[in-house]
Structure 1
Amino acid sequence: MVDPRETQIEAFFAAWNHDGKKVHEEIVAATENFDSKYCIGVRGNGSVYKTLLSTGQLVAVKRFHENDGIDHQQAFKSETSILPKVRHRNIIKLFGFCSHTRYSFLVYEFVELGSLVKILSDNLKAMELEWFKRVNTVKGLANAISYLHHECFPDIVHRDISSKNVLLDDECEAHISDFGSATTLDPDSSNWTPFAGTSVKEKIDVYSFGVFALESIMGEHPGDLISSLLSSPLHAVDVLLKDVLDQRLSPPKGQIADQVVSIAEIAFACVQQSPQSQPTMKQVSQKLSTPLQSLSVPFHMVTIKQLFGSPTWTS
C-alpha cells in the first residue's frame, strides 16, 4: 500500500524535474536560509534540519558543512549515488538533492521519533519503547542490512551502522540513514573470501549490527560488556541475561522473552572477533524471522555464558 505522503512528496520533486535552482530556492526558503531554529541534529559532515515544504509535507534536510574538502565531496557522492538505487521499507528515502556553490544538501523523508540513541537517552521515551517495539526495530534493521548485502548488485556495505544512524518512525520501524561512508563491492575484488559467501568488508556491518542489537535490549552501548566477554569469557559464567537488560523496563515475558534471548544470542555471534565465526546478515535475518521454540530454562535463569559463542550458525 502506497503511503499518500510519499506520493505527494515524490510528485513534488518530480515537478521540479531535478532543477537544481528550484530545489535550492525551495529549501532555502523553507528553512529561512538554514536558520538554527530548524536544526534537529548535527552529524560528522553536516547538520540536519526539519522543515515544511510548500506542499505541506515535513522533510529532513541534511546540509553538508562548508569547506569539508574531499570528505564532504565523497560523502555527498556516496549518498546521491547509492540511495536512489535502493528500495526498502527500513532504509531512509532520499527525495532530492542539490549541489550549489554555497550549499550542498539532501532532502529525506522525515522520520518521527529520531535516532535510537536519542530515544534511549531519555528515560520516558526509553520506557515507551517496550520490548516488542525493540524486537521489531532489531528485525527491521537486520532485514535492511541483509537487503544491502545480498539483494543489491553490486553489494552495498554501509560501514557506519549505529544507534545514531538508525531512525525510528512512529510505528517503531527502523530506518537506516547516513550513507556517506557507504561503498559498493566488486565481487571480483580481493575483498571477497570463500567463507559463507560474503566479504570481509560486509562483516563491518555484521559486527555493528551486533552492537546495535545489544544496545537496543540493554538500553546503553554494550562496549564494556563486549570487551569483558572477549578478553575473559569465563567471567560470563554466572552473569544473568536479565541483569544486563534495560532495567527501566519490566523483564520480558512469554514469546517476547524468547525473542529477546534469540536477539542476544545472535548479537553475541555477530561481535565475535573472527569474521569466520560471524554469521552473514542473510542468516541473521532468516533466523530472526523463524518461529522460536520455548526456552529450555526459565528466562530468569538464562546466563550470558549460555548465549555467548554458542554454535548457532552453519554456512
Structure 2
Amino acid sequence: MMPQDIRTSPVCNLAVGEEIRGKWSHYRYRIRRRLGYGATGAVYLADSDHGVVALKIGHDQMSITSEVNVLKRFSKVQGKVLGPSLIDVDDWLTRNGTYPFYVMEYLKGETLFDFMKTRSPEWAGILLVQLLTDLHTLHQAGWAFGDLKPDNLLVTGPPFRIRWIDVGGTTIMDRSIKEYTEFYDRGYWGKGTRKAEPSYDLFSAGMVMVNLAYPSRFTKASDPDKQMQAKIAGSPMLKPYASILEKAWNGKYRNAEEMRNELVLLLNAKEKGKTPLKKSRTAIQKPATRQAQKKKQSSFLTETLLVFTFVFIVYLFYMLGQTM
C-alpha cells in the first residue's frame, strides 16, 4: 500500500524540464514526464548524457538502496537480465532536503493493456509463460517480486518480450511483502498471508491475467471464491485457463515452473486442436500439388529424352554420310 499523501510529495511532482544534478557524480538529468509512482517514490522519463533514461527518486535512502541492490542482483541472476540495467546512483541536493535517486535503462514498449488491444487472446497466455519463466529465476535467487501488477510490466519488441520496469516491491523470501496493490494481493482476497514466497507471486500473476480480461478491475464480494469462478467462466479470454487460474488462486502450485509447465501444455493442446483442420486442408491440397509436380517432371524428362534421341539419330546419320 502507498502512503495517503504520496501524490502531494515533492518527488512525485517534479516539473517538466526540471533539472536534477547528482551530488556526487554531477551528472545532469532533465525531466520529460512522470512514468509512475509507488510507495518508495516516483519514476520519470529523463534526458541525460547517457541518452533517454528512467530515473527513480524517493524520500528514503534505505528503500532506494535496497532497490539498487535488487537491480544489481538481477544483472547477475544466471546471466539473465530480469529488470532494467542500472546506470547511475546518486543524491539530489535541494533547499528542502536531499533526495536519493537512481537511473536505469529506459525500456521502450507498450503497456500490457495497449499490447493486448491489437492481439488475439492467446497472447495473454504467451506473456504469462514468459512472466512465469522470469519469476522462477527470481524465486531461485531468493526473492519474491511482491507488487506484481500491469503497471510494473511492459512488453518490448518485436520480438515481443515481457519486462519488469519497477522492482520497488521486491522482497527477500520469507519476509513480509513490503509493497502491494489490493487487487493483486491474496491477503486482500482472504486467500493467504503477505509472506514473500512463490505462491504469493503466482496468485498475483493469475490476477494480472484476470485484469487483462477486466481492465477496470472489480472489488471483493462477500464470497470471493464464487465471485472469481463466475468472472473466469464469464470471460472468453480466461475460460480456457480456468484450471490454472483457480490453482493459482488457491495457492496449489509449489513453484512458478510447475505453473508454467501446465500453461505450456495447455497452449500446446490448444494449438494442436487447430492442427487437424489445417492438416485436412493440406491433405487435400498437397497431394494434388505433388502429383502435378511429378507429372511436370515426368513430362520434362520425356521431352528431354526425345530431343536427345532425335539429335543422336541425326548425328548418327550425318557420320554415316561422311564415311560413305
User: Does the aligned pair in 2 maintain the 1:210–1:270 contact within 8 Å?
Assistant: yes
**1:105 aligns to what?**
101
Please give the per-residue CA displacement for 1:90-128, whole angstroms capped at 9, x wherever unaligned.
Answer: 433323322344331121221223543xx35xxxx6522
**2:72 aligns to what?**
84
- Cα shift at 1:270: 0.8
Amino acid at match of 2:151: K
**2:88 aligns to what?**
96
Instruction: Flag structure 1 segments of 5+ consecutive residues without an equivalent.
Output: 1-18, 67-71, 188-198, 247-259, 299-315
User: Does the aligned pair in 2 maintain the 1:213–1:264 contact within 8 Å?
Assistant: no
User: Does the aligned pair in 1 maintain the 2:116–2:123 contact within 8 Å?
Assistant: no
Q: SS where residue 104 of structure 1 aligns? A: strand
Q: Greater CA radius of gyration, 1 or 2?
A: 2
Give the distance between the partners of 1:132 and 1:162, measured in 2 at CA.
19
**1:163 aligns to what?**
150
The 1:226/1:163 distance shift into structure 2, 3 A limit, reads farther
Give the distance between the partners of 2:195 and 2:101, measured in 1 at CA.
32
The 1:228/1:109 distance shift into structure 2, 3 A limit, reads farther
The 1:294/1:245 distance shift into structure 2, 3 A limit, reads closer
1:45 aligns with 2:40: yes
Amino acid at match of 2:121: W
The 1:97/1:136 distance shift into structure 2, 3 A limit, reads farther
**1:149 aligns to what?**
139
- Cα shift at 1:263: 4.0
**Mapping 1:235-246, distance limit 5 Å:** 236=230, 241=233, 243-245=234-236
Give the distance between the partners of 2:208 and 2:64, measured in 1 at CA.
25
**2:259 aligns to what?**
284
- Cα shift at 1:41: 2.7
**1:134 aligns to what?**
124
**Mapping 1:299-310, distance limit 5 Å:** none
The 1:89/1:215 distance shift into structure 2, 3 A limit, reads farther
Give the distance between the partners of 2:126 and 2:38, measured in 1 at CA.
26
Please give the per-residue CA displacement for 1:118-159, whole angstroms capped at 9, x wherever unaligned.
Answer: x35xxxx65224434433322221111111112x1xx10121
Q: SS where residue 163 of structure 2 aligns? A: strand
The 1:223/1:207 distance shift into structure 2, 3 A limit, reads farther
Name the structure with the higher strand share: 2
Give the distance between the partners of 2:222 and 2:105, measured in 1 at CA.
36
Please give the per-residue CA displacement for 1:191-237, whole angstroms capped at 9, x wherever unaligned.
Answer: xxxxxxxx953122121111012223x1426545897551468x74x
- Cα shift at 1:262: 5.4
Give the distance between the partners of 1:73 and 1:103, measured in 2 at CA.
8
Count of residue correspondences: 224
**Mapping 1:120-269, distance limit 5 Å:** 126-150=116-140, 152=141, 155-171=142-158, 172-185=160-173, 201-202=196-197, 203-216=199-212, 218-220=213-215, 223=218, 230-231=225-226, 236=230, 241=233, 243-245=234-236, 263-269=241-247
**1:30 aligns to what?**
29
Amino acid at match of 2:244: I
The 1:186/1:135 distance shift into structure 2, 3 A limit, reads closer
Instruction: Flag structure 2 segments of 5+ consecutive residues without an equivalent.
Output: 1-21, 176-193, 275-324
Amino acid at match of 2:69: S
**2:54 aligns to what?**
60
Give the distance between the partners of 1:47 and 1:176, measured in 2 at CA.
16
Give the distance between the partners of 1:162 and 1:240, measured in 2 at CA.
18
Amino acid at match of 1:44: A
- Cα shift at 1:38: 2.9
Give the distance between the partners of 1:114 and 1:279, measured in 2 at CA.
31
Using structure 1 for the length normalisation, give the TM-score: 0.59
**2:180 aligns to what?**
none
Give the distance between the partners of 1:283 and 1:113, measured in 2 at CA.
29
User: Does the aligned pair in 2 maintain the 1:165–1:177 contact within 8 Å?
Assistant: yes
The 1:226/1:214 distance shift into structure 2, 3 A limit, reads farther
- Cα shift at 1:60: 0.9
Give the distance between the partners of 1:285 and 1:136, measured in 2 at CA.
10
Give the distance between the partners of 1:232 and 1:38, measured in 2 at CA.
38
